[in-house]
Structure 1
Amino acid sequence: MSDIIFINGNVSYSITLDPGVWIFDDRKVDLLTYFEEERSNSDELEAYKKAVSAHWDREIREGALFPPVNKSISRFEKEKIIKGTFGIPLRPFLEHAMPGTDAQKVLLKTEINTYTLTMEEAMDAILGFSKEGKPLQDGPAHFYFGDGRNKTAPITHIRQLTVI
């Protein structure tokens, strides 16, 4: 079976997700600690705007001496990636698909079952994609509710998210 997840239905843009590349995404979260951490409900867009603004201000003051480069990964971070258990928030992907204004539910389809979620549950969800540094055997992704109520028994074999 393919390791691709589809987002389709009542969206402006159908999206194809490949969990194999999420290990390089800065939005990934450590699933071993994510549900125990205290999180603030800060707006990602607002944080991005502040970071870009600070970068722009620094360029104005100091000049653009070098082109931007990806931050190098320390040995500790490499070890963490090799042995880590990670997930990624589903919200950015659903937002980029641009659900219709009348969208209220999301059908989560697995190889075996279909689950009906509210839009809020889907937006707060985490998709697990790695366990102890390896791709999931019962993947390509696991679905975790944002409140962690299924953190020990996630929904597995995720194949498609259909917005209705």
Structure 2
Amino acid sequence: MDPCSGVGSCTTAENSPQWSIPMLVISAINVLVIVCYEVFIVCRSTQLSPSRRHLFLSQVLLLGLLSGSCVGFAYGLEITPATCVVIRFGTGVSYVLIYSSLLVKLVFLISLNTGVYLPALYQALLLIFCILVQVVVEVEWLTLIPDCSFKSTDHVFSIAYVIFLIIFVGSLSIKSRHIKE
């Protein structure tokens, strides 16, 4: 039985080979570039900077970009229950890693500009709680709508929190555009 039967948004690599090969190639190139950049950053930071406190959020941002590129592999492969779970869970988590790290960086810069220094523990807790919201949403979605029987609207609803983060980060970036740092 086809796991995508009756679902309009679920396609397989067999049904649309025109985009699956380029998707796999682009995902592989992205993963390779991100891993090479990560190695460069880690090597450079061990040589130059004794304080690596500022690297944490950048590493989370890179992790989000890397996981998003890895989810691209699942989009290019044949749809199975495993790839559906990766697509459904990975898409939201990738986006939330990216936008949560940007949110915490902006909050830190705005608070630093007002004279308040946010400790690393506060930044880490803010990041963890921002990520946990999306993880709970994804787990709930995976339990309520099993297998590959989801629609595009279900997918959009599952990333509604990410859309909120995008709007919030956008408004904070407009507010903080005058900050030199």
Report if TM-score (shorter chain) is over 0.5. no
Q: TM-score, normalised by structure 1?
A: 0.27
> More strand per residue: 1 or 2?
1
Higher helix residue share:
2
User: RCO higher in 1 or 2 (8 Å CA, sep ≥ 6)?
Assistant: 1
TM-score with structure 2 setting the length: 0.25
